[in-house]
Chain A
């Protein structure tokens, strides 16, 4: 899987690729699991996905961003499975020659991810105990 991961998304993952000398701006967005929602304490969220489609949609979004803005590097990663409060659930990093396109592309990507990628967050997976697995039930 290119965009989905069950592992934590660390700083090293996000900065692995070498800088492109044409780029003068790098914008990073991190989505983080809040520890409190509507006054209720949250220990973790379980992210369920339809993996083959999520991968395909994210691939398309990265491609679309690359057509709209002159991007040289795009990093996009979304966690699936259990993510603890305070951890990064989604990370996007966009490098471009100038800040305008970097900000715009990063904004476009997070908005589009939230709107179109088949990923669902839940506080508890009611089927987890039925399947005998922890976390979201995966297909196949």
Chain B
């Protein structure tokens, strides 16, 4: 059977983890979905996240990436809120 959705595990950190109360979420997205689509779905579930999402960066397989990147099954996707190391 042809697979038409992909399941993405999204890792959350810091403020995002606090806001959502968990360190990862699972999303079912249509094949060909991008980081932007993932964020849209997350924002739809909780519109109050919007401002935090707008300043967060997306990382796929431990690399910062553009929101236009097409996500693939098995990708390790993470949302990186503004960092504050040092």
- Please report A residues at the B interface, Cβ cutoff 8 Å: 31, 47-50, 52-53, 56, 78, 89-90, 110, 113-122, 126-127, 130, 137, 139
Contact = CB atoms under 8 A, between A and B. Distances in A.
A52 B60 CA distance: 12
Contacts of A47: 85
Interface stretch (B11-19, B29-37, B41-49): B11-19
B4 interface: no
Contact of A127 (B18, B24, B63, B84): B18
B83 A122 contact: no
Given A127-B17, A139-B11, A53 B78 contact: yes
Nearest to B80: A118
B86 A116 contact: no
Given A53-B78, A126-B18, A127-B18, A119 B84 contact: yes
Contacts of B85: 47, 49, 78, 89-90, 113-114, 117, 119-121
Contacts of A48: 13-14
Interface size class of B (residues with CB under 8 A): 20 to 34
A56 B13 contact: no
Contacts of B24: 139
Chain B interface helix/strand/loop/mixed: mixed
Interface string B42-86: 000000000000000001001110000000000000101101111
Contacts of B28: none
A118 B59 contact: yes
A80 to B, nearest CB: 9
Contacts of B11: 50, 139
B23 interface: yes
Contacts of A50: 11, 13, 59, 62, 78, 80
Contacts of A56: 62-63
